[in-house]
Amino acid sequence: MKLTIDLVPQTAWGNSLYNFYKQNKAWDWHKIKQKVFDLEGKKCWICGHAEGPFEAHEFWRYNHKEKIQKLVGIHHLCGNCHKIKHFGFWTETETGLEKLKKENLTKIELIMHFCDVNNCLEKDFKEHKDKSFKLHAWRSQQEWKTDFSWIEKLNLNVIMPNTNLNSF
């Protein structure tokens, strides 16, 4: 599947590069966004949609044995693809549902976007969703260390959170 749900474990909420720069009042997040635009153009990295605004999403890989969540990439996504990534927030929390309403969107429309991009049926979505939520529940019971070393690959002059710390 091109577009998947990727829920961040509750125990790792806030451990993002975006939050790190926000807390440190650094403009480095914008430097990273610009670099990603330079490398990939102004379009959704997943579905190719060419109309902004685009939101930079942090992609993570989880090492279940060592309990490390490792940043493996940052790409710009359209609003719909990005909402699928954080489907739990947008469709199962009060704040998310309110925001969704403000954007004149519904859960059904998000599911339709998922099925369009993946060329699949609603039952495939349901299967994928159940699997992701189950995984999320398990991951939310583990403590995660966060590895941000990927950022060095961008060759930018940005401040770095310490690698392998679980908070900053």
CA atoms of 154 and 95, how far apart (whole Å): 34
Q: Is 57 one of the binding residues for Zn ion (CB under 5 A)?
A: yes
Count the alpha carbons within 13 Å of 131 in the hemisphere toward its beta carbon: 9
Helices 122-139 + 107-118 axis angle, to 10: 100
Contact predicate 12/168, CB 8 Å: no
* 60-89 binders of Zn ion (CB under 5 A): 78, 81
Smallest distance from the beta carbon of 79 to Zn ion, in angstroms?
8
Smallest distance from the beta carbon of 44 to Zn ion, in angstroms?
3
Judged by CB under 5 A, the stretch of 25-33, 51-59, 121-129, 151-159 that binds Zn ion is 51-59
- Identify which of residues 17 and 161 has a Cβ nearer to Zn ion in the complex: 17
Q: How many CB atoms lie within 10 A of CB 58?
A: 21
The correct pick among 36, 44, 71, 110 for binding Zn ion (CB under 5 A) is: 44
The binding site for Zn ion (CB under 5 A) comprises 44, 46-47, 49, 57, 78, 81
